[in-house]
A and B are shown apart, each in its own frame.
Chain A
Amino acid sequence: MSEDTSLKTTPLTGLWQGMGGRMVPFAGYLMPVQFPEGVMKEHVWTREKCGLFDVSHMGPAFLKLNDASLTGDAAHAAIAALVETILPCDVAGLAPGQLRYTTLPNATGGVLDDLFVGRPRADADQGTLYFVVNAGCKEQDFAIIAAACAGKATLTRADDRALIAVQGPKAVDAIGNVGDGPKRLGFMEFVTVKGPFGEVVVSRSGYTGEDGFEVLIAADKAEAFVRTLLATAHVKAIGLGARDSLRLEAGLCLYGHDLDETTSPIEAGLAWTIQKVRRERADFPGAARILKELVEKPARKRVGLLPKDKAPAREGAEIRNLAGEKVGMVTSGGYGPSVGGPIAIGYVDLAFATVGTELDLIVRDQPRRWVVAPLPFVPHNYHRKG
């Protein structure tokens, strides 16, 4: 197999190749899908200790208000008003240092991407927002954000830096390497700190269901940072294979699979990402459909699925009711190493979305009995303050 030279690399690609990472194309980047230990062990290690993931393919960016005369809360209010024309979450209401998970809806209430948006903590940084969007959507998202703010705010991409996720119950020990500040963060808070690896943006967030951090760091400091963490007893490099099984167990949506331009945030179970103040104002793209579904219930809903036997069902598997009629489709399916068996996420007609409902998933033309199960499959282990 020849390596596709059109693939982009990250500041850590060489390190992963040297460590025996099995490199595969992912969203236009050459990324490690697994290391020699394999997905199963990497997954379990992350749940029990601390896994380190290269997520530099994703799209971090900063959006800064052009009008420098505005400061503090006024500056934040101004930048929030700009992006609330395209996002359905309460950006204005973000506390300094707070991060929110949200969607980028289209005019018909489908989802163009799911992303994080944050308000910096420092007084000097008010009027700036921090974004992290999906790798496969970043050109589109950045164009939409820039267009919504044209002439009023400037988007600066940060995807030339490295973005490193440090996830698991021991992540809080590992993060001490960039300074003490990040240890004091609560779930979905972030801070910019200066330390031995220069200026880094650290958020207490991730996509594994575990406590953890995501670190945005200069490209030329990334390898030294990663090597420092990997030299500690509890940290191992983990590939994208385990990242996917961890997020699936955590019941989190993978864009392009569990979310797409036809899926509404309500169908996806993401109503919680649209705060009350935005529902009342109903002023975001797709609000008509999204708010209607919120009141009247959507026609279909995202559910967890567990099998009665041991055969995994994969994305695309048809879901039928016990009368043999098609009632949905699997959008993510695989094996949950911490669950100890196959797990799947899919969309089913509302009448079949109740936990405990028995359904048939069609695997290689054979119906196999599965049961609608609550999400997440593995309890979240976030560090919530309070």
Chain B
Amino acid sequence: MTTKYTKDHEWVSVSGDIATCGITAYAAEQLGDVVFVELPNVGRIVSQGDEVAVVESVKAASDVYAPVSGEVVDVNEALAETPEGVNEAAETTGWFTKLKLTDPAELDALMDRAAYDTYLAGL
């Protein structure tokens, strides 16, 4: 399983042709207490960079972008009832969507963990 990161602080973890996507712990910490997550419908086709979900903190709403292109095959319904799950475990059980990859080559341009950590250090 490979995990890659975007400059917009999404992570994508790939197993076969299925990519599990979410926001990074850094993003969750910056947002603060998450109170609502709006997830896409299963079956939606998204392109890399599309707004695929919305995450809301007490103060504001933020878009979550698709880190890669694909078809939404699953969403984390648990976040509807317990949006605070994003703060508790952003990079594991706090995932947002599972996408069936349509262009796996897109992954190559994303950052690996070391590159993302370097990117964070520079912010």
Taking beta carbons and an 8 Å cutoff, which residues of A are in contact with B?
A: 1, 33-34, 38-40, 43, 241, 244-245, 310-312, 314, 334-335, 337, 342, 364
On whether the beta carbons of A337 and B36 are closer than 8 Å, the reply is no
Partner of A312, one of B32, B33, B35, B123: B35
Q: Which of B1-60 contact A (CB under 8 A)?
A: 32-33, 35-36, 38, 54, 56-60
On whether the beta carbons of A314 and B57 are closer than 8 Å, the reply is no
On whether the beta carbons of B33 and A40 are closer than 8 Å, the reply is yes
Which residues from A are CB-within-8-Å of B33?
38-40, 337
On whether the beta carbons of A34 and B32 are closer than 8 Å, the reply is yes
A176 to nearest B CB, angstroms? 31
On whether the beta carbons of B32 and A334 are closer than 8 Å, the reply is no
Q: Is B115 interfacial (CB-CB < 8 Å)?
A: no
Interface SS, A side = mixed
Which residues from B are CB-within-8-Å of A342?
35-36
- Expressed in whole angstroms, the Cα–Cα distance for A334 and B35 within the complex equals 10
On whether the beta carbons of B38 and A40 are closer than 8 Å, the reply is no
- Expressed in whole angstroms, the Cα–Cα distance for A342 and B83 within the complex equals 13
On whether the beta carbons of B32 and A38 are closer than 8 Å, the reply is yes
Q: Interface range on chain B: under 10, 10 to 19, 20 to 34, or 35 or more?
A: 10 to 19
On whether the beta carbons of B36 and A312 are closer than 8 Å, the reply is yes
A37 to nearest B CB, angstroms? 10
Chain A residue at smallest Cβ distance from B51: A364
Q: Which of B88-108 contact A (CB under 8 A)?
A: none
Partner of A39, one of B32, B56, B61, B123: B32
On whether the beta carbons of B59 and A311 are closer than 8 Å, the reply is no
On whether the beta carbons of A311 and B36 are closer than 8 Å, the reply is yes
Q: Which of B60-97 contact A (CB under 8 A)?
A: 60-61, 80, 83
Which residues from B are CB-within-8-Å of A1?
123
Which residues from A are CB-within-8-Å of B58?
39-40, 43, 241, 245, 334-335, 337
Given the known A-B contacts A39-B33, A342-B35, are A314 and B60 also in contact in the complex, defined by CB atoms under 8 Å?
A: yes
- Expressed in whole angstroms, the Cα–Cα distance for A334 and B56 within the complex equals 9
On whether the beta carbons of B56 and A312 are closer than 8 Å, the reply is yes
On whether the beta carbons of B38 and A39 are closer than 8 Å, the reply is no
On whether the beta carbons of A310 and B59 are closer than 8 Å, the reply is no
Given the known A-B contacts A312-B56, A335-B56, are A241 and B32 also in contact in the complex, defined by CB atoms under 8 Å?
A: yes
Given A310-B36, A310-B83, A311-B36, 8 additional A-B pairs, CB 8 A:
A38-B33, A39-B32, A40-B32, A40-B33, A43-B58, A312-B36, A334-B58, A337-B33
